[in-house]
Amino acid sequence: MRLLVVSQYFWPENFRINDLVAELVRRGHQVTVLTGEPNYPAGEVFPEYRNDKSAFASFAGAEVIRVPLRPRHKGNVNLALNYLSFVISASLRAPMRLRGRHFDAMFVYQPSPVTVGIPAMLIKAIKRVPVAMWVLDLWPQSLSAVGVTQSSVILGLVDALVRVIYRSVDLILVQSRSFVAEISRQAGGAEKIAYFPSWSDDPGSEAPVEPATEVPASEGRFSIMFTGNVGDAQDFPAILDAAELLRDEPVRWLIVGNGRRSEWLADEIARRNMEDRVLLLGRHPLDRMPSFLLHADAALVALRQEPAFAMTIPGKVQTYLAAGKPILAMIDGEGAEVVRMAGAGFAAPAGDAAALARAVRQMMAMPAEQRISMGRSGQDFARREFDRDTLVDRLESQLKQLVDSSGRRDGVAGT
């Protein structure tokens, strides 16, 4: 199939869409990616991209078409301008950049923001191509959950926009079963909604992995590792409260990643005089995560206490399961249920630092063999429920069905 992928984020930014594109190309599909200039999560365009844009015009055999945008910088106003700039730039430039090209289907990757659907709607109208959208984040709920706005007027307007986008899409793929009821309301029914969860960020390799040298040795300490975005949603105030409760115990917290809250986190660690217990190891490529996780006795996932987050399965859950690490979760809802069903760790309620501290003590007290068994249970569950090859097989079948049904409606597919 000739596939157009529309995503505001793409390599060298670390998102699961990178792996999906590479796999689709490996399976023989012709993939073109429409995306923006890389600036996530630090908020500034990557220097290596700015220095040589031509080096980022292809990825794993897929052509990458980039449109300019305003970097995220810091603050909610700048974030809104970043979202808006991609919508405008992609809507104005994509028709010309894609002129004369034919596609069988379009795949839209939608974490935040949902506005990525606007240029996709325009391209659909021009190209007469069926569209599948992978929804990883609920809008407008996420806007209020992370404190961008509490205005009922603004949230209502965003909800109206979401309804327009979802009703224009031919297939909506949701990363959590809990999304179905809300998206059914916005999409006007559940007929075109299908469950399509995430898989591990790192698909794994048979090659041996050496421990990351960036992690200092620490004999006798229980190492809890967090990997990924350091943002508002991840509830670092509660994580640090749990670390405070365990100040007198042999525990250290390893943070691998960065984001909009990185500066605040560094300042808060210093204010609490916890630099020796909470280590900020910075951002590293996804393919290096296995080497960092080798240092972890347990892997940490946390989200703030918000209804929208309770319906989400954080992507790092699948990554930790596949890595075979016992999980300490401070989350509600479906994500917590996955950890419990997998027998892969302990789940404390979102925002409950005391419960997280108790879970840490409970896991520390276990024999090492029991923690290893937890990790293996997680790997088994991941193979059953979140196997990448099985999921991509399903996606291929769904896209082919879209193409076939579009051809029956229009007389020819890919016009």
Closest among 378, 328, 388 to 352, alpha carbons compared: 328
Question: What pLDDT does residue 412 have?
Answer: 45
Residue 411: other Cβ atoms inside 10 A: 8
The β-bridge relationship of strands 62-67 and 58-59 is: antiparallel
Question: What pLDDT does residue 205 have?
Answer: 53
Report DSSP letters for 356-404, one per residue.
HHHHHHHHHHS-HHHHHHHHHHHHHHHHHH--HHHHHHHHHHHHHHHHH
Name the CA radius of gyration of the chain, rounded: 21
Question: What pLDDT does residue 76 have?
Answer: 84
Binning the chain into helix, strand and coil, the percentages to the nearest 5 are 45, 15, 35
Mean pLDDT per 10-residue interval, the chain, length 415 residues: 98 95 98 97 93 97 98 89 97 96 97 96 96 96 84 94 97 96 96 94 66 90 96 95 97 94 96 96 90 96 94 94 96 96 97 98 97 97 95 97 79 43
